[in-house]
């Protein structure tokens, strides 16, 4: 079930997030390396972890980024 998959991904992310250096350098969702112009780092409004723009959604009204996993858990 989709909810179970999302919850498993969320648990996996919590384990990876314990390494602050890893998350500072790479997206917590897809593990791509952050680059200033080509893959900028954004902070998820809900979980506060760093994500790339491909793994997040930007709300133009509130001007915040939210990772797709957090959106699924809402």
For 13-40, the pLDDT digits (tens) are 776 666 777 778 999 889 899 998 899 9
4 pLDDT band, cuts 50/70/90, is confident
pLDDT of residue 40: 94
Which domains are seen in the chain, by residue range? 2-73 (3.30.40.10)
Q: How far, in Å, are 17, 35, 54, 66, 69 from residue 21 at the CA level?
A: 9, 15, 20, 21, 21
% of the chain at pLDDT higher than 90 = 50
Q: How far, in Å, are 64, 69, 73 from residue 12 at the CA level?
A: 24, 11, 14
Q: Is 32 helix (H, G, I), strand (E, B) or coil?
A: coil
């Amino acid at each position: 079930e989709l909810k179970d998959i999302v919850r498993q991904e969320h648990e996996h992310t919590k384990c990876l997030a314990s390494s602050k250096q890893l998350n500072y350098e790479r997206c917590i969702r897809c593990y791509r390396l952050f680059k200033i112009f080509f893959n900028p780092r954004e902070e998820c409004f809900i979980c506060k972890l760093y994500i790339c723009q491909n793994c997040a959604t930007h709300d133009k009204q509130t001007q915040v980024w939210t990772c797709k996993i957090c959106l699924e858990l809402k």
